[in-house]
Amino acid sequence: MSPTATLDTPAVSVEPGHTADVPLQIRNSGSTVEEYRFEVTGPCAGWMTVEPERVSLYPETAETVTVRLRPPRESGIRAGESPYGIRVVPTNEPAQAVVPEGTVTVLPFTEVTAELLPRSSHAARKGRHRIAVDNRGNTPVTTRMLAQPGSRRVEPRFGKDQFVVAPGHAEFTEVSMRPAKLIWFGPPQTHNFQIAVATSAATGALGTTAPPAPGTAAPGTTDGAKPGEGSASSAGFPANPVATPAAPPAVRPAPPGPPAASSASLASPVPVSGLVPGPRPVEGAEPVPAQAPVLLDGTFEQRALVPRWLPRAVVALVVIAGILVGLWYSVLRPTVRSAARDTVPGEVQKVLNPEGGGTAGPEGTGDGLSSTGPNGGPSPNQPSGRPGEQGGGQQPSGTDTQSGAPGGTGPTASQNPAASAKPTSARLEVSDGVGGSSSSQAYQVPAGQTLELTDLVVQNPQGDAGTLVIANQDRPILSLALENFRDLDYHFVTPVVVPAGASLTMTVNCAQVGRPVAAPAPASCVESLLLGGVLRPAT
């Protein structure tokens, strides 16, 4: 004889994290003592138990056991109505098992957490953050981002300010904090702000159809299955599918009199009519309890557009530029000029005298060009040695430096005056005693040529006192006082022309003999003249 099993409360509601007890009455309608064990079927089997697990009944006796429903407070336990069944299996006759059915409504709960990442940002124009919203409840929620009234110095801009978060999922949104005013200079300013994450029940929670979360299957389906299709075995059911009636059946009450035996058989799994995988929303169910907004505190450090190190860098660059300019004018530029000054005379000598020549010595024997500066040194524009003259007041015996005319059929001197012009130089030296008449020495221009005098260098090495006159054909060119100089040079832009056969004379009248330093006292005044110019054929 099959046992009789009846649930006192076929439909029950329970809040996740709490416990609900449903009495189950078992009656032994057989004629022998029977032991019964209990098996929970359906999607709620993981958090339903029967206490005690086994019970023994004498014939025609009944006993009440407790079906304990204890859904955990997790997002995986979705809110809604779920069917379940309790298999009552006789130990001696398992084929006579019966299955009373019931429904349990898991009430919704909301638990939303949010986090601001990072908590603080540093920028000149806008700070970048992310808000992570995690739905740990068992029903979809709509979240909305709001800026608190105290955050007026910065304005938040959300990538998306409202979105739906499925149970057990997290959503992210970008938020940028823009200051109301830009800072050009000065120290950074810190702005504290607060963002409120408000939550409300999403459309479709408990009573309407809510869209499934991205990447998840709809309630009551397995991965890859369409809504309305599912694997019963994946939800704890037998492998064969079960049709879902339009309305969940209630547990049929036992008829008066002896309870009827169930025709269930253990040989094939007992299908539980009315059970569908997963919870089903219930129309007219209690609304989802509201949750206080989650407040997120953050900090935005607004920095100046012009960095603090930029003025220092500009000052450092100015100082470095000043140092470089000073080095150029104090060290590099004089060095370059000195190198150029030393290089130019040699180049000029090569141009004016391609055949080369030496610098005139004390006796005036040499060719080429040389020059002296104010202190007796070389001068860039002064031609050097030509045959000099000997002795005071005597005609110079040296010869000029004209070279022979080249052979061949080239142009003559009259055809090319520039080619026939020859640079020349000569040195005159005059010695004159004190109290006597003046002494002189002359340079005579060769016949058939004209001297274009461009440079004069006068030297008074002893520091004598007196007068020195330079004359062209008895016409004075310069009249100098010896006590006014030691070395003196003149360079004429317009040459002084000395005709052929004429003489250029230097006359010295000694008034007082100088005394050189660390040298014996001389007996007479000694002066010298270096002249330079160009000899051209007379026309």
pLDDT at 505: 95
From the list 66, 122, 92, 86, the residue with the least C-alpha distance to 5 is 86
pLDDT in tens, 29-43: 888 899 999 999 999
Return the pLDDT at 504: 94
316 — pLDDT class (breaks 50, 70, 90): very high
The CATH fold of domain 358-399+417-537: Jelly Rolls (2.60.120)
Kindly state the average pLDDT of the residues 352-363.
48
Residue 281 pLDDT = 53
Q: What are phi and psi of 234, to 5 degrees?
A: -70, -20
User: How far, in Å, CA of 48 to CA of 68, rounded?
Assistant: 6
Tell me the pairing of strands 465-472 and 475-481. antiparallel
Question: What is the pLDDT averaged over residues 300-328?
Answer: 88
Residue 165 has pLDDT above 70, yes or no: yes
Cβ atoms of 413 and 448 within 8 Å: the answer is: no
pLDDT at residue 348, as a whole number: 63
**pLDDT at residue 353 in the model:** 62
Instruction: Indicate the SS3 state at residue 267.
Output: coil
- Mean pLDDT in residue range 285-304: 80
Q: Is residue 126 helix, strand or coil?
A: coil
Mean pLDDT computed over 347-372: 48
What DSSP designation does 258 have? S
Region 258-264 average pLDDT: 34
Of the two residues 203 and 478, the one the predictor is more confident about is: 478
Among 254-258, 500-504, 529-533, the range scoring the smallest mean pLDDT is 254-258
DSSP character for 350?
Answer: H
pLDDT for the residue 521: 87
pLDDT given at position 187:
86
What is the pLDDT, as a whole number, of residue 342? 76
Task: Please write the tens of the pLDDT for every residue from 63-74.
Answer: 999 999 999 999
Q: Please compute the mean of the pLDDT values over residues 55-70 and round it to a whole number.
A: 92
Q: Which residue has the higher pLDDT, 522 or 276?
A: 522
Predicted local distance difference test score (pLDDT) of residue 331: 85
Is the pLDDT at 264 greater than 50? The verdict is no
3-state secondary structure of 104: strand
Residue pair 40/104 in contact by the 8 Å Cβ criterion: no
What is the predicted pLDDT for the residue at 243?
30
Superfamily of domain 112-209+290-302: Immunoglobulins (2.60.40.10)
| CATH assignment, 1-107+212-280 | 2.60.40.10
Give the 3-state secondary structure of 142-174: EEEEEECCCCCCEEEEECCCEEEECCCCEEEEE
Q: One-letter amino acid identity for 385?
A: G
Q: Which residue has the higher pLDDT, 308 or 257?
A: 308
237/347: higher pLDDT: 347
DSSP states along 289-341: PP-PPEEEEEEEEEPPSS-THHHHHHHHHHHHHHHHHHHIIIIIHHHHHHHHH
Q: What is the reported pLDDT for 63?
A: 93
DSSP letter assigned to residue 343:
H
pLDDT digits 0-9 by tens, 477-500: 999 999 999 999 999 999 999 999
- Map tokens 């160009």 to a residue: 534
Looking at mean pLDDT, say which of 140-144, 244-248, 359-363 comes out highest. Answer: 140-144
- At 132 the pLDDT is 95
Question: Residue 202: pLDDT band by 50, 70, 90 thresholds?
Answer: confident
User: What pLDDT is stored for residue 150 in this prediction?
Assistant: 63
Q: Locate the domains of the chain by residue range.
A: 1-107+212-280, 112-209+290-302, 308-352, 358-399+417-537
| Whether 302 contacts 123, CB under 8 Å | yes
Identical fold for domains 1-107+212-280 and 112-209+290-302, yes or no, is yes
Report the mean per-residue pLDDT for the chain: 76
By CB atoms closer than 10 A (0-12, 13-18, 19+), residue 409 is: exposed
Of 133-137, 419-423, 432-436, 513-517, highest mean pLDDT: 133-137
Percent of the chain with pLDDT over 90: 45
